[in-house]
Amino acid sequence: MAAAFARIATDGFEGLRTREVAAAIGINIATLHYYFPSKEALIRAVIGHAMQRFSQTLPTSGSPAEQLSVYLHNLADLLEQDQSLWAVMGELVLRARRDPDLAHIVDQMNDVWHAKLRDLIARLGRPGLDADDVAALMIAAIKGLSLPTAPSVQSQRIDQVFAQFRHLLGLSQSALE
Amino acid sequence: MAAAFARIATDGFEGLRTREVAAAIGINIATLHYYFPSKEALIRAVIGHAMQRFSQTLPTSGSPAEQLSVYLHNLADLLEQDQSLWAVMGELVLRARRDPDLAHIVDQMNDVWHAKLRDLIARLGRPGLDADDVAALMIAAIKGLSLPTAPSVQSQRIDQVFAQFRHLLGLSQSALE
Amino acid sequence: MAAAFARIATDGFEGLRTREVAAAIGINIATLHYYFPSKEALIRAVIGHAMQRFSQTLPTSGSPAEQLSVYLHNLADLLEQDQSLWAVMGELVLRARRDPDLAHIVDQMNDVWHAKLRDLIARLGRPGLDADDVAALMIAAIKGLSLPTAPSVQSQRIDQVFAQFRHLLGLSQSALE
Amino acid sequence: MAAAFARIATDGFEGLRTREVAAAIGINIATLHYYFPSKEALIRAVIGHAMQRFSQTLPTSGSPAEQLSVYLHNLADLLEQDQSLWAVMGELVLRARRDPDLAHIVDQMNDVWHAKLRDLIARLGRPGLDADDVAALMIAAIKGLSLPTAPSVQSQRIDQVFAQFRHLLGLSQSALE
DNA sequence: AATGAATGAGAGTTCATTCAT
DNA sequence: AATGAATGAACTCTCATTCAT
């Protein structure tokens, strides 16, 4: 449910109230419970929704350099434009600490993400570049960028970090556009 | 109160219950309220405690290269050994989104952190290294490392990222030991 | 809610407990909160109920002498038979000291009461009778009668005071029956 | 304790907090409990204090007409100047409904009051004046005057009622001054 | 005589959930 | 498929009282 997603982005899991979700879409609480038997079920649905949206940033065709460029471009866009997705991702990662099922999902996504990046970097053919380590660095940095407080500062930091990515990978600025 | 700190690390703010904090240290809830007039006051105390512990990782003397090495060493240690501090920091950053006061504290700490790192990097004298951008990358990556799910994966990722830091900065492995 | 009214009559606002009100009518506390969002809302409802019942004693038709007789009769009846209403009115007046909204309501009711009485007395056509002052005396005395302790004494005092009212107004005893 | 008296006058028994009473006179709560073993004991002390102050309005010497004049004068003064005493008396009367001991005290005081007034009126030698009934009326009215909401209205009503008293008793205006 | 610290009992309120319709 | 009404469990917070010093 998109309404639940929005509420989590705004107030976190801590502030998720089924009554408010129901009210936001103009239905009765009991009706919400009819579709989602429990709050937990609603949360699971939100998790699935978030994960799916996140996966859609992965490109599937083109040369490694092209794919990397497109991917970085997509991520930077997502970071700047859809703050709510990252807010929810942050909440999910934190919640995963207490929720084994969620932890499993998050770990799996991290692995896929890392493998994909490592693969692309390796196929770039840059000698002296440890694909595994660089992928780890990039993922850590992107995760870190998803924990903003002031949106104003955020934008500058994103540019700086992605500039370093390109520098590390030997990608030209123009390759991103 | 250390007990509250521990509970936040385990269950997040979402799971912080005054009764449990009181029970954890063997006192009555009313007694807890005697020292912390409200739950909010308790949270503020925890925030102060966390910020203070975090600040203590900043080295104050030595050459830039030495300070950077010591700093990275301290951070890596902290990341591996005191997961609870990072867990709480993660919770704090997420909570800052809805708590302007906390957001201000976090932003201030980020600025101090960034300025310190940028300064040290600049004084390293590595041409071709944008101190500002590299500092941003490092901070983002470190923040990202503080969002782990499985502690087992965690350790490997930390090593990988810090190896890249050294590589970026041209610091020798031995300099860290 | 009549149950809340009864509890205030018995134990005063001081002894009003939402849990007990709910228990008295066999519902859950949460259900009570479903109808009255807060204790304050419940109190307001009780106030409205009391004010309405009190207003119903005012007669609307007949000659001035008849109306006065009927009115005095109604009030004496109410004082003797429905002690709970007076008990609640006493609580309300005392509470009005700290509750501006309630004070406004009580003042308004007093004014209406005084104006009505003064009007009726004036139209009685008793020379040498200051309608304004007599009305003030009567209202003060009736209020004073609403502060009883022992119900046994109460009845005698009511008769005495209303006898004086009739004497003052030159109404015959028979006019009341 | 005068501080407790003041708090009851302001906020009623409902708002009486031992902590605030102690704070008002700059002592610790435990110290207050040292002198008054319980809140109930403190309340008893306040009751005694209030009753004593009230008794002091009764005149003891002079002709009946003089005593009545002085008494009415004293009461009118007290009503206008020391609102807190009347506020507390109101609270006491209401509380008496649930407190048999207090009810006994209040009843006793009422009886003494009524007997004294009746006696004075009887000795005035006004034929056609039922001393018992007039005393009841006066006491009821005075009690009623002690339940004000707006102090501004209060003053006018007091004058009106006491004017009626003098009229009833055949006392000249000058006799009051 | 005086106090800081501690406590048990209970207050109003919230919330996910269920029930009857 | 949908809802108003109802509920149990739990929450933070308050307060008179007591304890150790």
Who has greater pLDDT, C174 or D91? D91
Quick one: pLDDT band at residue D174, thresholds 50, 70, 90?
A: very low
C35: enclosing H helix or E strand: helix C29-35
Distance from CA of A7 to the nearest CA of B (A): 12
Give the alpha-carbon dihedral of B129, B130, B131, B133, to 10 degrees.
-130
Highest mean pLDDT among A60-69, B57-66, B94-103, D36-45: D36-45
**In this predicted model, what pLDDT tens digit does every residue of A144-160 receive, in sequence order?**
988 877 777 778 888 88
**In this predicted model, what pLDDT tens digit does every residue of A26-48 receive, in sequence order?**
999 999 999 999 999 999 999 99
pLDDT (mean) for A74-86 = 85
Determine, for residues B107 and A134 on separate chains, whether the beta-carbon distance falls below 8 Å: no
The architecture in CATH of the region B1-46 reads: Orthogonal Bundle (1.10)
> Which residues of A, range 127-166, sit inside 8 Å of B by Cβ?
130, 132-134, 136-137, 139-147, 149-150, 153, 157, 160-161, 163-164
pLDDT, chain B, mean? 86
What is the spatial distance, in angstroms and rounded to an integer, between the CA atom of D28 and the C1' atom of E1? 12
Determine, for residues C153 and D107 on separate chains, whether the beta-carbon distance falls below 8 Å: yes
What is the spatial distance, in angstroms and rounded to an integer, between the CA atom of D97 and the C1' atom of E3? 37
Q: Give residue for tokens 């308004």.
A: C108
Selecting from 1.10.645.10, 3.30.300.30, 1.10.10.60, 3.40.50.720, what CATH number does the domain D1-45 have?
Answer: 1.10.10.60
The whole-number pLDDT of residue B173 equals: 56
- Chain C, chain D: beta-carbon pairs less than 8 Å apart: 130
Q: Least CA distance to B11: which residue of chain A?
A: A98
- For the A57-176 domain, the top CATH level (class) is mainly alpha
3-state secondary structure chain D: CHHHHHHHHHHCHHHCCHHHHHHHCCCCHHHHHHHCCCHHHHHHHHHHHHHHHHHCCCCCCCCHHHHHHHHHHHHHHHHHHCHHHHHHHHHHHHHHCCCHHHHHHHHHHHHHHHHHHHHHHHHHCCCCCCHHHHHHHHHHHHHHHCCCCCHHHHHHHHHHHHHHHHHHHCCCHHHHC
Q: Which amino acid, one-letter code, is at B152?
A: S
Residue C177, pLDDT above cutoff 90: no
Distance from CA of A149 to the nearest CA of B (A): 6
Touching subunits of C (3+ CB pairs, under 8 Å) are D
Distance CA B126, CA B170 (A): 8
Domain-wise residue ranges, chain A: 1-46, 57-176
- For the C1-47 domain, the top CATH level (class) is mainly alpha
The whole-number pLDDT of residue A24 equals: 92
